[in-house]
Amino acid sequence: MTVQAPATSNPIAVLERFIQAEVEYFAAEDADFPAEEHLDPEFVLYEPESMPYGGEWHGRDGFRRFLKVMDQTWSQMGPLNPPALIEHGDTVVVLATLDARARGTERVIQPPVCQVVRVRNGLLLEARMFYWDTAAINNALRRE
């Protein structure tokens, strides 16, 4: 007999809960992201160095700092449509189109993205973000 893991430890279910919490965070004013509910203590987020929030963001506090920079950068951020989630073992590949508005320029951009996420014990362990066109994103952020 095979015992199925609870839905909360299923990598796609874990990621869907996280995405919902992230959308709620960006929609709320001055909210605190409940990182402990979603992120492994050893969580690492990798963002391209060419982005204003590029680099490695370690742990729950690192992720909270990342969110503050994102909030300073974007006045609106979220998926345009429900993302495609492809699971393999402890890894989920996310294919999405973002709907974002630059805080400083008010420009709207809808870039395709791919994110590779690893899950451990029902929590996100690692996330690597891949943007289709970082130059276009950075252009949307630049004041003329």
Can you tell me the distance from the alpha carbon of 108 to that of 111, in angstroms, rounded to the nearest whole number? 10
Give 88-139 pLDDT, tens digit per residue.
999 999 999 999 999 999 999 999 999 999 999 999 999 999 999 999 999 9
Q: What residue numbers bound the domain in which 24 lies?
A: 7-141
The model's pTM: 0.87
56 within some domain? yes
Q: How many domains does the chain have?
A: 1
Identify whether 51 is part of a domain: yes
CATH code of the domain containing 86: 3.10.450.50
1 occurs within a structural domain: no
Per-residue three-class SS string for 61-113: HHHHHHHHHHHHHEEEEEECCCCEEEEECCEEEEEEEEEEEECCCCCEECCEE
* Alpha-carbon span 87 to 91, nearest angstrom: 6
